[in-house]
Chains A and B, each alone.
Chain A
Amino acid sequence: MFKIRQLVMVATALVALMSRPADAQSPKIGDPPEASNMRLVGMSDLQGRSAYQPTIARQGDRYIAYIGHHGGTDDVPVPMNPLTGKPENNGTSIVDVTDPKNPRYLKHLPGQPGNYEGGGAQMVRICDGKMLPKGDKSAVYMLRTFGSEAHEIWNVADPANPVLITRIAGLKDTHKNWWECDTGIAYLVSGNPEWRIRRMTQVYDLSDPAHPVKIRDFGLPGQEPGSNGPVPTELHGPISTGPTGNRVFFGYGTNKGGVIQIVDRKKLLEGPKEPTAENLKYPEISRLFMSSLNGAHTTYPLLGMPIPEFAKDKDGSKRDILMVVDEALVNECNEARQMVWFADITVENRPMMISNYTVRESSGDFCQRGGRFGAHSSNESMAPVFYGKVALITFFNAGVRAIDIHDPYNPKEIASFIPSITANTDKRCVTVNGRDQCKIAIQSNNVETDDRGYIYVVDRANTGLHIVELTGPARAAAGQP
């Protein structure tokens, strides 16, 4: 009788365990990373700071990673910097990744006080002074946001000892900018208090970083001061192809009402600048309205792509493609799926979505793991090692994914890596029946690559920087030795 009772108890416990897939999938400290055709090379904890944009710069024979941070958290608003022994508001981490197996943390440059998106210094871009038309040839310039209120330029020629050059202040909601190193033209994402949206574009000439020259404000007609009626979706960020390509691709929206705008760069820079609806429309070539259920976080151009399937076609065997990445914004799938879209923009005034990619939710019970699940951003480096071959996409709790994009009409996942959580990994909560339900989960936020083929993934939930590389068939797909 006793044995039967024991058996019933064991069976009940087993059924209970099997009926809780969410808990079964919840990561634990000490678990190995979940990897497929990717391998961890090295990592830095980034002092336990929530990370946004990584940018990797080659400075002489060194590779330096600059990583922008969100503000602190409720639990740790001002993390300790072990290098100074003092608590510092989240800002920019500067890490020597010359030896990716042993990243060396050089400097933490504090940012704006405040938690989450209310502080920090999320965005960072680097231009070598030798490239900038009027730059100091001995300088390396770092353009970063200062919280929500300013853009700053620092000289990071000595990355362990940055020197402030200039500051563009009096703004709000600064975010994901783009800087052309060969011309110095910068598309700064900011909020001009007079405009009707939080974020729009402020075009600057930063060819002489010590003397910024404003060119114009830009946005969608209806966003400008004094206009009425519906307010078009606010900007997330642009990517320019510079004077050679003469195009700027703007992505509006994060997880809703996405708009892709293709703009003639020359007309943008040289056209009438007064922010009227007519002047804002002037440089626009076309606009692609996405479903209201998705936004446009990153718009990454893949121009002149040979499409294998179309190789024997008399026309259209090469296509201009725009990879558009949405941003998942809400924890535990309390929104429509945010993913990756490919638009054929060969005929620029008739752009058309042709394919998409998402991580399969069922492959990891990602809606149950905690935090956000869905796409956020792609690598933005156009170095030949991955360009037009493999795209890297962060998917929050599903880590980073490598997609084979040789045929953008049929993108295929070829590798993935979900870092292990650590003691630093912050919780993510949803409210259920009046109570916070919190889980600890990886939140791979942004990704960048260098010209050696290393992949830099940073975590929004404070887990740090993971440097990974492709292995096996994925490495072969990229043509890496």
Chain B
Amino acid sequence: MKRRATLLVLLAGLGVAGAVTGATMSRQDQWQEIAWPFPRDAWPSGRAFAGHGVQVYIRPKLGFCNCATGVSGDAEVDAVTDLDMMADDFTPNQPGEWVKIAGMAGRTRSYTLKKSDGTQIQATGTAISRRCDVVVAASQGPKAATTKAQRAIADLIATPRIIDWLNTLLGKG
């Protein structure tokens, strides 16, 4: 009994030490889940995260993709990636790029958002598809358009916690 209590204290200590070490390394380079910040719209709320100098909002949209062609081009990225939740006005920075994340193919594109107060902020929209469904990730923040942030977002989508969640909603496969 005494040995078990000692082990628990030791494990707890290791956990705290690990957390402290992680925090001192860089909180910026970790994803922290935050509350979904947008009001209800056509689709159920998704999951939101902050980290890497951006906030990212991920959600699946069932039945919102051409089953035969998948995500077909930049116009589709403009339309489906929830940029309208973040600002009434957005302008693409450049043509998008093809991406493949966790086996799902699609496109990602960077934008400049113009907020209602006139301020501008960088953003990205990513749309990837599985069969007739699409998964979208919209991000905003000073580093949103950087390759590093986009890679971090792709890595986040590919983590087991997000994939398991998507599988539950989309059906695995």
Contact = CB atoms under 8 A, between A and B. Distances in A.
A434 B173 CA distance: 6
B118 interface: no
Interface in A281-298: 292-293
B68 A116 contact: yes
A63 interface: no
A431 B173 contact: yes
Nearest to B91: A228
A442 to B, nearest CB: 19
A118 B76 CA distance: 17
B31 interface: no
Contacts of B171: 430-434
Contacts of A435: 173
B116 to A, nearest CB: 12
Interface stretch (A12-20, A236-244, A329-337): A329-337
Interface in A429-450: 430-436
A257 B42 contact: yes
B84 A230 contact: yes
B68 A115 contact: yes
Interface centre among B63, B64, B84 (most CB of A within 10 A): B63
Nearest to A294: B42
Interface in B55-82: 62-64, 66-69, 72, 75-76, 78-79
Nearest to B77: A231
A292 B39 CA distance: 12
B88 A229 contact: yes
B159 interface: no
Nearest to B112: A228
B83 interface: yes
B75 A229 contact: no
B89 interface: yes
A202 B5 CA distance: 76
Interface string B35-53: 0000011110000000000
B152 to A, nearest CB: 26
Contacts of A231: 75, 78-79
Nearest to B168: A433
A292 B44 CA distance: 11
Contact of A118 (B63, B68, B90): B68
Contact of A114 (B40, B68, B78, B92): B68
B160 to A, nearest CB: 15
B28 interface: no
Interface residues of B, number: 29
A433 B172 contact: yes
B62 A197 contact: no
Contacts of B72: 198
A182 interface: no
Contacts of A409: none
Contact of A117 (B40, B66, B75, B78): B66
A197 B63 contact: no
A318 interface: no
Contacts of A436: 173
Contact of B89 (A118, A228, A293, A433): A228
A431 B131 CA distance: 11
Contact of B67 (A117, A198, A229): A117
A312 to B, nearest CB: 42
B170 A197 contact: no
Contacts of A329: 63
A175 to B, nearest CB: 12
Contacts of A256: 42-43, 64
A256 B40 CA distance: 13
A435 B66 CA distance: 21
Nearest to B76: A198
B91 A330 contact: no
Nearest to A328: B63
A221 to B, nearest CB: 13
Given A195-B75, A329-B63, A292 B172 contact: no
30 contacts: A116-B67, A117-B66, A118-B67, A118-B69, A196-B75, A196-B78, A196-B79, A197-B79, A198-B66, A198-B72, A198-B75, A228-B90, A228-B91, A228-B92, A229-B84, A229-B87, A230-B84, A230-B88, A231-B75, A231-B79, A255-B63, A256-B42, A292-B40, A292-B41, A334-B63, A430-B171, A432-B171, A433-B171, A434-B167, A434-B173
Interface of B: 40-43, 62-64, 66-69, 72, 75-76, 78-79, 83-84, 87-92, 167, 170-173
Given A229-B87, A234-B79, 6 more contacts: A117-B68, A196-B75, A196-B78, A197-B79, A198-B75, A292-B41
